[in-house]
Amino acid sequence: MLKYLLKRLFWMIPMLIGISLISFFIMHLAPGDITTTEAGFNPKASEESRQKLRELYNLDKPVIVQYGLWLERMSKLDFGNSFASHQRPVFWQTTDENNNTKLGMIQEALPITLLINVLSMGLIILIALPLGIISALTQNRLPDRSITLFVFIGFAIPGFWLALMLMYWTGVAHHWLPISGLHSMGADKLSGFAQGLDTLKHLILPVFISAITGLAGISLFVRNGMLEVLHQDFITTAKAKGLPEGTIIFRHALRNALLPLITIFGLSIPGLIGGSVIAESIFAIPGMGKLFFDAVLMRDFPVIMGILTIGSALTLVGNLLADLSYAWADPRVRKGVMQ
């Protein structure tokens, strides 16, 4: 088992290098760099000074040399500083000789995105599990049909439109919820508990929107998994034995039906750090999606590479975790891994 784990971990290194190499080259295939986006079209900015900036950022060197420089920094776990946002560190805070601390860009954006995604993931599971089970038990009857219709509407509805409508309804028409942002004006004068409540109120709509669009996937997964299991022989046996309905559904059927969900959760780990650009822009939330999108538009290479590297590392770790927990949950798979 340990050998298997070490082997998997070891193979991640060449994989990460390969991913970063490809990302780096694709990123440089897009025309333009920071000097074209920053003051690129202002007659007061001269071409000489832009060339000077290119040299300062090493953008005048061949791409492969730039990649080498990046890899050298990364080997020391140094994600570098952003071009566009006044040399802020990409990943984690740094402190200079005057004791001024500059917070990292990912460091600041990540907790917000993580909080929203974890909350909405929790909400999705809370709602999708019962919906999926009810659907499966009432297959092709009214409850099943209406649940399917409901989750598909949630899936198909444009998130930004629903967000704006709900913002109007809960924020302008009725003053129930704040419209955008994370904190109310003057919230820092409130007590700690009231501040938490204030932030929670700001999170209701973003979490709700991201949950409703994600509901369809999980609930249909649960429904189909349940249906498949319910038609198997051991369920018939259990029924023949005269076990109570609840025991059959929750002890025998559900536990088997949930196995594939492990894979889904493993694969959604990298998704937890990627925010939605549209939702974050509309709700004015400074999260990862907005950070990445702005970095791409500005050609802010260190930030793009930083987010891509963390994202791909998490994808690999997520895969590994999914495989491991699958093995833990399912004896049939465990046997395969051990061999």
Indicate the helix (H) or strand (E) that contains 102: strand 101-102
Phi, psi (5° rounding) for residue 278? -65, -50
Closer residue to other proteins in complex, CB, 46/237: 46
CB of 315 to other proteins, least distance (A): 26
Q: Which among 226, 320, 253, 268 has a CA at the least distance from the CA of 122? A: 268
CB of 42 to other proteins, least distance (A): 7
CB of 43 to other proteins, least distance (A): 4
Burial of residue 43 (number of CB atoms within 10 Å: 0-12, 13-18, 19+):
exposed
Closer residue to other proteins in complex, CB, 34/316: 34
No. of H helices and E strands in the chain? 16, 2
The residues near 325 (Cβ < 8 Å, ≥ 6 apart) are 262, 266
The number of C-alpha atoms within 13 Å of 290 and in the hemisphere containing its C-beta is 16
Closer residue to other proteins in complex, CB, 172/240: 172
CB of 183 to other proteins, least distance (A): 6
Amino acid letter, 162: L
CB of 219 to other proteins, least distance (A): 15
Closer residue to other proteins in complex, CB, 51/236: 51
Closer residue to other proteins in complex, CB, 35/135: 35
